[in-house]
Amino acid sequence: MTMKFIVKTYGCQMNVADSELIISILQKSGFSSTDKIEEADIIIFNTCSVRENAESRVIGRISNEVSRKTTNKDLLIGIVGCMAQRLGDELKKINKKIDFIVGVDQYSKLPEIIEVSRQKVAVETTFNTTEIYENLFPTRSNNLNAFVTIMRGCNNFCTYCIVPYTRGRERSRSVTEIYNEIEQAGREGLKDVTLLGQNVNSYLYIDYPENISQRALNSYNYQLDEMPMGERYDFADLLRKVNEIKDIKRLRFITSHPKDLSDKLINTMAECDKVCEHIHLPLQSGNNEVLQKMNRNYTIDHYMSLIHKLRSAMPNIAITTDIIAGFPGETEEQFDQTLQIVRAVQFDFAFMFKYSERSGTKACDFPDTVPEKVRLERLQRLIDLQTEITTLKYKQRIGNIEEVYVECQSKRESREMSGKTRDFKITVFEGDDSLIGKFVNVKITDAVGWTLKGEIVQCET
């Protein structure tokens, strides 16, 4: 009888994409995937470590699910992803019912590790600096949107961030592999593609002559002048290339680091018809001193010049961001500058966080930590301001006709369908299931919270 497994995914889109890889790896080895947890023989948690509450949520969920072992003695519980990578063996102490712990570069070994874990707890968290999961087509978790990893790891070491420690160093996948994966997704009917990397702007792939091992070379951090000769593809080149794929209608990417967002990329975005009018450009703080302590390597002037260039090249571009409130040493005045920049930029949307200590990161040892109460209070002020701006931005859309990619039934109202505009705004309108996967033109009649409401004026033919 085939063993059934379920993957529960936490964290960022990178983990969503990794879960699709895991499903593909296990299916190839004869396991079958289920979406009913009560049917599963193996429950896998793909976890996130980015903030403390991301970890505590998953620890709580694991302790709920291990109780299933009382009725199903053979049930296996596995932890993979960033928390598995960060904590490794320690997780065994946190919950004694865990059967296997596998880090982000070891998913190809999952079938064997699962076998071993029937006898004893199996832990495999070795980093593999060249692992990019070549020649693996992920099993897509939906048939509308494809998340395609173009690079793994991060070299930036922002001082608050755990990701470089859980994901290892940067390595880019080959243009051909990415192209083929997207082409296949397009053939399968997925029309919306998001290219993924912790910092897509530092994507670099060099197509070396055949006699040199490409995989090895692309995994090393060569100084640019030491690079062997070969055809070079930066992120803008990659974007232009995948823009040619005919079955794909929309292209997006996350995340762009402001220090590496080039004029070439901005022009490429403007010129490529499939690249949507949306960019996620994390600000983190509105104060230069804080940015420096965060090791972000840009100034506010630079950030504002990018906003200006983006809006000049694409007047309707939606700009979203990430901001942290209460970084160590952040003064009231410095936080106030963040509010000022938020007012000046007028982001369409922002993910806002209170600073969370991550052990092992540099900022964790910084003095003058901001008291929890102040962090929360600043976060609330930030959220209030951004909510006002978002509401205004959304209301400005009333009267427009927007192209919407229909994705699902609306959660609130079964007669309503929900989809996204090119600039990533959720839009609901009256319609039925037959519209899922189609592009429709919707006249916007209202904006409620972070949702546009409207009525269909034209369906895809």
Kindly identify the residues of this chain, within the stretch 331-360, that bind ligand SAH according to CB under 6 A: 353, 355-356, 358
Residues 14, 198 contacting (CB under 8 angstroms)? yes
Does position 320 interact with ligand SF4 (CB under 6 A)? The reply is: no
CB nearer to ligand SAH: pick between 50 and 238: 50
Q: Considering only residues 19 through 48, tell me which ones interact with ligand F3S, judged by CB under 6 A.
A: 48
Q: Return the residue nearest ligand F3S (CB atom).
A: 11
Q: Which of 129, 175, 178 is nearest to 154 (CA)?
A: 129
The entry of ligand SF4, ligand SAH, ligand F3S, none that residue 49 binds, CB within 5 to 8 Å by partner kind: ligand F3S
Whether omega before 255 lies within 30 degrees of 0, making that bond cis, reads yes
**Is 440 one of the binding residues for ligand SF4 (CB under 6 A)?**
no
**Neighbour-count burial of 341, counting CB atoms closer than 10 A to its CB (0-12 exposed, 13-18 middle, 19+ buried):** buried
> Is residue 297 near ligand SAH by the rule CB under 6 A?
no
Query: Binds 91, which of ligand SAH, ligand F3S, ligand SF4, none (CB < 5 to 8 A, cut-off by type)?
Result: none
Q: Does 125 bind ligand F3S (CB under 6 A)?
A: no
Provide the Cα torsion 135, 247, 145, 27; round to 10°.
Answer: -30
User: From the list ligand SF4, ligand F3S, ligand SAH, none, which binds 377 (C-beta under 5 to 8 Å, kind-based)?
Assistant: none
Side-chain half-sphere exposure of 183, counting CA atoms within 13 A = 10
Nearer to ligand SAH, 366 or 450 (CB): 366
**Pairwise CA distance, residues 25 & 23, whole Å:** 6
CA–CA dist 347, 319 (Å, integer) = 5
Instruction: Give the residue from 52, 35, 53, 56 showing the smallest Cα distance to 44.
Output: 35
Among 46, 49, 172, 199, binds ligand SF4 (CB under 6 A): 199
Residue 21 in the binding site for ligand SF4 (CB under 6 A): no
Across the chain, how many H-helices and E-strands are there?
14, 21
* Beta pairing, strands 439-448 & 426-430: unpaired
Q: Which is nearer to ligand SAH, 266 or 350 (CB)?
A: 350
Element holding 392 (H helix, E strand): helix 372-395
Site string for ligand F3S, 224-253 (x = CB under 6 A): ------------------------------
| φ and ψ of 442, to 5 deg | -125, 130
Judged by CB under 6 A, the chain residues 130 through 189 that form the site for ligand SF4 are: 154, 156-158, 161, 163-164
Sites for ligand SAH among residues 254-293 (CB under 6 A): 255, 257, 282, 284
Q: How far apart are CA 440 and CA 402, in angstroms?
A: 8
Least distance CB 114 / ligand SF4 (angstroms): 29
- Which one of ligand F3S, ligand SF4, ligand SAH, none interacts with residue 355, CB within 5 to 8 A by kind? ligand SAH
Binding partner of residue 286 among ligand SAH, ligand F3S, ligand SF4, none, CB cut-off 5 to 8 Å per kind: none
- Give the residue with the Cβ less far from ligand SF4, 353 or 394: 353
Strand segments, DSSP code E, in 82-203 are 100-102, 122-124, 145-149, 151-152, 171-172, 192-196
Exactly one of 5, 11, 298, 355 binds ligand F3S (CB under 6 A); that residue is 11
Pull the structure tokens for residue 413: 């109202």
* Amino acid, res. 139: T
| Residue 164 binds which of ligand SF4, ligand SAH, ligand F3S, none (CB < 5-8 A, kind-dependent) | ligand SF4
3-state helix, strand, coil in the chain (%, to 5): 40, 25, 40
- Is there binding between residue 324 and ligand SAH (CB under 6 A)? yes
CB of 12 to ligand F3S, least distance (A): 3
Instruction: Select the binding partner of residue 157 from ligand SAH, ligand SF4, ligand F3S, none (C-beta < 5 to 8 A, by kind).
Output: ligand SF4
Binding of ligand F3S by 87 (CB under 6 A): no
Distance CA 272, CA 401 (A): 21
Pairwise CA distance, residues 81 & 140, whole Å: 18
Q: How far apart are CA 447 and CA 107, in angstroms?
A: 43
x/- track of binding to ligand SAH for residues 46-65 (CB under 6 A): ----xx--------------
Asked if 14 is part of the footprint of ligand F3S (rule: CB under 6 A), the reply reads: yes
Contact set for ligand SF4, span 251-280 (CB under 6 A): 257
Tell me the C-alpha to C-alpha distance, in Å, between residue 83 and each of 53, 54, 263, 389: 12, 9, 36, 35
Using CB under 6 A, which residues numbered 46 to 85 contact ligand F3S?
A: 48-50, 81-82
Q: Which residue is nearest to ligand SAH (CB)?
A: 322
Record the tokens describing residue 285, joined without a space. 């703080």
Distance CA 276, CA 392 (A): 21
- Residues in the site for ligand F3S, rule: CB under 6 A? 11-12, 14-15, 48-50, 81-82, 162-163, 166-167
Residues that bind ligand SAH (CB under 6 A): 50-51, 160-161, 163, 198-199, 255, 257, 282, 284, 322, 324, 353, 355-356, 358
The contact set with ligand SF4 (CB under 6 A) reads 154, 156-158, 161, 163-164, 198-199, 257
